Amino acid sequence: MFALRPELVVLGAESWRPAKADPSEARVVGSIVQAACSLGVRVVAEGVATAVERKFTRELGCALLAGPLLGPPASASTWSRAVVPRDRRRPR
């Protein structure tokens, strides 16, 4: 286990969504997120569809979020065009 050094752990919605309604489940998921964070691993929550879910996953400790609330999936080139200033892009 310690030979592995992941940079990112992904929590699918099926992992964190049931925890919204069950405090003991929330403690388990929160402990998993805290363990990852204590090792310097960022945690992304997938499937975030509402502001309530955004708040909940942030409270669990997820550093990154993905899902319909934040926008549709996009390719790397689409993201690059969106976030890299035109004058800093590599020529094609």
Q: What is the structure's pLDDT at 45?
A: 97
Q: What global pTM score does this model have?
A: 0.76
pLDDT band at 20 (very low <50, low <70, confident <90, very high): very high
Q: Is the Cβ–Cβ distance between 12 and 47 less than 8 Å?
A: yes
d(CA 34, CA 31): 5
Assign 32 to helix, strand or coil: helix
pLDDT of 5: 81
Q: Where are the domains of the chain?
A: 8-88
